[in-house]
Structure 1
Amino acid sequence: MKDQLAARIFSEKDPMALAPELFRLQYGQNALYRAYVDALRVNPAQVNAPEQIPFLPIRFFKTHPVVCGEFEPEAIFESSGTTQTQNSRHLVKDTGIYTRSFMDAFRRFYGPVEGFVVLGLLPSYLERQHSSLVYMVQEMITRSGHPESGFYLYEHDKLADTLLALEARRQPVLLIGVTFALLDFAEAYRLNLRHTIVMETGGMKGRREEWTRSELHDFLMERLGVPAIHAEYGMTELLSQAYSKGGGLFQCPPWMKVMVRDENDPFDLSAASASGVINVIDLANIHSCAFIATDDIGRLQADGSFEVLGRLDHSALRGCSLMVS
């Protein structure tokens, strides 16, 4: 049944219409999610719209396996962290669904990846294992089919030379990088990139937190000579990404939906067109949980696009009593 549903998620004209069906399926097969829904006294039979679905606090990925049934995962994606924090772990039953999700989404927003040379500037991610972002970019590099595509750690001289050579050929390039690494690169080099999309993935690694996103993007645009800084919104616990083509406004593919909830009432989703804490429906999360309450603060626009404004300092309400089980 899940295999049939997975195919429909990427082919239906309105995939979100499948959300209540997937909710009931996951309620029946995900013991952790079922316990959480029961603790909220929600009757699954009365859930008929995405807005009625309970969202699982994202921190459960740090403390429990969030899975439907039992399976041997094809991949385990793990978040970055420190020795003082516990990493999130996402057990992925079928990496083909992840690949389908990120490849289809990229194609919708940018066209076929084969049209780009893909350059990944992801030093902090490449230095650890089990990164979903590295998995995604590696697959994009492979599928691009260009010999120049590849990862860069700290070889800024080589990266600059490659970009200049590709620019001279008017070759479309996707330079996707963690934010602090793009900043370091832009401080060292002033370029005029007219055929390159510069895409940041977030992550300042504790550096220059006083910079707003607008200030950061203005600096990168001025130093790299691009008209906009693109961005990707994704996380270890999701198998789908939203994209921004500039201005910090993100759009989702049809099988992903962002809503915002009241910070003081995690079950109040009436904050449309206002700021609140982000809830994500990711239908590609078919074997884990498709309904995730994040720790990100955002603002929803009338057209369904959204901004990311920051993160919650703490989320006392989110775990309920299940956190101690």
Structure 2
Amino acid sequence: MKFTVFDIHSNEAFEKMALKIYRYQLRKNVVYQQYCEYLHKTRASRIEEIPFLPIQFFKSHTVLSDQRPAQITFTSSGTTGNNVSKHLVTDLEVYNKSLDHSFKKTYGEAKDYVILALLPHYLDRSGSSLVYMAQRWIKASQRAESGFYLNDLAALSKVLKSFENSSQKIILIGVTFALLQLADEYAMPLDNVIIIETGGMKGMRKEIIKPELHGILQTAFTQASIQSEYGMTELLSQAYANDGITFTTPPWMRVSTRDTNDPLSAIDHGKTGGLNVIDLANYNSCSFIATQDLGKSFTDGSFQVLGRFDHSDIRGCNLMAVGSRQ
């Protein structure tokens, strides 16, 4: 079944579609159905009544609302002995549309950019939704310089320097520890460059807060715009922070906060809590996910990520990059 989630342009349309997908997933998604039944929450007439599935279920169960075979399986990064999340995608076209619509809404046309990725090459990490996204951007840019440079910072530096006196727009997307390594070894002013960092240190270096990270990057790359991306294996949509701190979502995605002591209770905007995500593009899997991230949501629909719950698993993009180098 297909839902026209990319045609949403109002709160009313979002809430109507969210309730429609909730009822669909309640019927078709066995894991979500059993979870809602356990909570005795199998009816919702308002979006605020919809339960959020804990993200950990993607490690232990097959979370699907669609019986078709998976076209691709995205997996989270992990350490040896840890279970990883698996997101079976039965309709890759939905993910492609989500990527393309979000990029165009945030940055314009990919062909106007040189896309440089401090990430593992697609062939080295084919199960990563982030690497898949970067590969799609690189292909759409149609520029010979676009590509993956995780294992060759010297080559990346040469490409960046070759555009020093150019008006060519550049996007450099990378895992945090690799961006810091580039800043340590190849600091330079970067005109017309957007740097998109994708996450924390994940054990590679001492964890630092975003303002400190962005300060280091801004000092090393004085003219660059330092930005952030928020996404995960279990979602099909991303949010972007043009200021590096406050994320905005596409029209089919919404983030709210829950009480850290009572995960079934929502809290007011502006207060710190666990982040809940509604990703309507995820209609073939589960669109209502309780993440392990801590943050704040705001009345204008934006949100901030402040950290992780204590004892949550080490996971994320930087572990992916470490594994590709071993």
Cα RMSD of the aligned pairs, angstroms, is 1.5
* SS of match in other structure, 1:204: coil
* Equivalent residue for 1:16, pick from 11, 14, 23: 14
Correspondence 1:161 to 2:165? no
Correspondence 1:32 to 2:31? yes
Correspondence 1:50 to 2:72? no
For the 8 Å contact 2:87–2:234, the answer to whether it is kept is yes
How many aligned positions are there? 309
Q: Work out the CA distance in 2 between the residues paired with 1:238 and 1:125.
A: 19
* Equivalent residue for 1:133, pick from 130, 135, 140: 130
Q: Work out the CA distance in 2 between the residues paired with 1:62 and 1:124.
A: 25
* SS of match in other structure, 1:260: strand
Give the structure 2 partner of residue 322 of structure 1. Answer: none
Equivalent position amino acid for 2:41 in 1: V
For the 8 Å contact 2:113–2:169, the answer to whether it is kept is yes
Give the structure 2 partner of residue 82 of structure 1. Answer: 79
* SS of match in other structure, 1:257: strand
Q: Percent identity?
A: 46
Give the structure 1 partner of residue 112 of structure 2. Answer: 115
Give the structure 1 partner of residue 307 of structure 2. Answer: 310
Give the structure 2 partner of residue 215 of structure 1. Answer: 212
Q: Work out the CA distance in 1 between the residues paired with 2:45 and 2:136.
A: 37
Q: How much does 1:127 deviate?
A: 4.2
Equivalent position amino acid for 1:57 in 2: P
For the 8 Å contact 1:123–1:181, the answer to whether it is kept is no
Q: Work out the CA distance in 1 between the residues paired with 2:112 and 2:28.
A: 41
For the 8 Å contact 1:116–1:173, the answer to whether it is kept is yes
Q: Work out the CA distance in 1 between the residues paired with 2:146 and 2:157.
A: 14
For the 8 Å contact 2:121–2:148, the answer to whether it is kept is no
Give the structure 2 partner of residue 143 of structure 1. Answer: 140
Over 3 Å counting, the alpha-carbon distance change for 1:85 and 1:145 in structure 2 is: same
Q: Work out the CA distance in 2 between the residues paired with 1:210 and 1:158.
A: 27
Q: How much does 1:126 deviate?
A: 6.7
TM-score between the two structures when normalised by the length of structure 1: 0.91
Deviation >3 Å, runs of 4+: 123-129
For the 8 Å contact 2:114–2:169, the answer to whether it is kept is yes
Equivalent position amino acid for 1:110 in 2: Y
Over 3 Å counting, the alpha-carbon distance change for 1:126 and 1:81 in structure 2 is: farther
Q: Work out the CA distance in 2 between the residues paired with 1:207 and 1:82.
A: 12
Equivalent position amino acid for 1:63 in 2: S
Give the structure 1 partner of residue 256 of structure 2. Answer: 259
Q: Which runs of 5+ in 1 are unaligned?
A: 316-325
Q: Work out the CA distance in 1 between the residues paired with 2:253 and 2:224.
A: 27
Q: Work out the CA distance in 2 between the residues paired with 1:32 and 1:210.
A: 35
Over 3 Å counting, the alpha-carbon distance change for 1:211 and 1:69 in structure 2 is: closer
TM-score between the two structures when normalised by the length of structure 2: 0.91
Give the structure 2 partner of residue 240 of structure 1. Answer: 237
CA-to-aligned-CA distance 1:47-90 (integer Å, 9 cap, x gap)? 12221100000000000000014221010000000113100000
CA-to-aligned-CA distance 1:249-303 (integer Å, 9 cap, x gap)? 1110010000000000111112322110000000000100000000000011232
For the 8 Å contact 1:186–1:223, the answer to whether it is kept is yes
* SS of match in other structure, 1:229: strand
Equivalent position amino acid for 1:182 in 2: L
Equivalent position amino acid for 1:38 in 2: E
For the 8 Å contact 1:126–1:134, the answer to whether it is kept is no
Give the structure 1 partner of residue 323 of structure 2. Answer: none
